[in-house]
Amino acid sequence: MQPAQLTTEDLEKIEAAVQQVEAQTGGEIVPVLAKQSSFYEIALWRAGALFAGIAGFVLTLLFVTTDLLLFMPPYLWLLILLVAGLLGMTVAVSAWPIKRWFLSKELMQRRALDQAKNMFYDHNVHLTEPRTGVLIYVSFFEHQAVILADVGISELVADDCWEEIVQELTSGLKQNQTTKSICQAIEACGKLLKASGVHQPTDDDNSLSDEVRINE
């Protein structure tokens, strides 16, 4: 599911989950939803090379086994290879499952993490006075999620404590249970914060908006 396909009702459910957690803990939850973490030009080049390679193999096979291409000008060979390559690139851009096929899981994880770090500062998660901001970054193309906590929370919650929440969230994304999975992840973050002693201060001013940030 892409961010653009989330309905107003979906966004309201996510914002309600944020408000519920922030009413019970001192954490400031910032959900950021992204269409993709990178354009991945390498996938286009790989798809183009594959399609051009297949076209070249077919042309060579026809040339060797038949007389169909015997009098074909060389520039037509090049034109066919070029068109095949462009077709491959177009398919990779248009179809996410095919584009993902040309990318490694490690690359997508790395790009999602890098983009999450950028979003942490772009959306001022680091600017809460008690330093208790928590970014929940979801990237739909990669089916990846990243949770980053500011220093006021990382002192109390080890980084690996978020891993189970991330795994549950990414599993839900792959099953197209987007809104439900994000809300459950937010609730799980709240339980972890509460259990770790990140209590709501008496003068909590909700310094970060509860709205869902959409990064197209």
* Alpha-carbon span 25 to 188, nearest angstrom: 12
**pLDDT for 216:** 74
**Rounded mean pLDDT, 53-78:** 87
* Sequence-ordered list of residues with C-beta below 8 angstroms from that of 198, at least 6 positions apart, any chain: 25, 26, 27, 132, 152, 153, 156, 157
Give the whole-number percent of the chain exceeding pLDDT 70.
95
- What are the residues facing 138 on neighbouring strands? 33, 145
Both ends of the chain: CA-CA distance in Å?
A: 13
| pLDDT above 80 for 85 | yes
At residue 73, the pLDDT reads 86
Average pLDDT, the chain: 91
Alpha-carbon distance of 37 to 32, in angstroms, equals 11
Domains in the chain with CATH codes: 3-38+104-215 (3.10.310.50), 41-101 (no CATH)
Residue 182: how many other CB atoms lie within 10 Å:
25
> What average pLDDT does the segment 85-94 reach?
97
CA distance 37 to 110: 9
CA 61 to chain centre: 41
pTM confidence score: 0.90
Band of residue 3 on the pLDDT scale cut at 50, 70, 90:
low
pLDDT beyond 90 at 11: yes
Q: Average pLDDT, stretch 77-81?
A: 93
Mean pLDDT of 172-181: 93
Tell me what pLDDT residue 1 has: 45
pLDDT for the residue numbered 205:
66
Dihedral class, residue 206 (left if φ above 0, else alpha if ψ from -120 to 50, else beta): left
Q: pLDDT value at position 200? A: 72
**Contact in structure between 194 and 29 (CB atoms under 8 Å):** no
Mean pLDDT of all residues in 113-140:
95
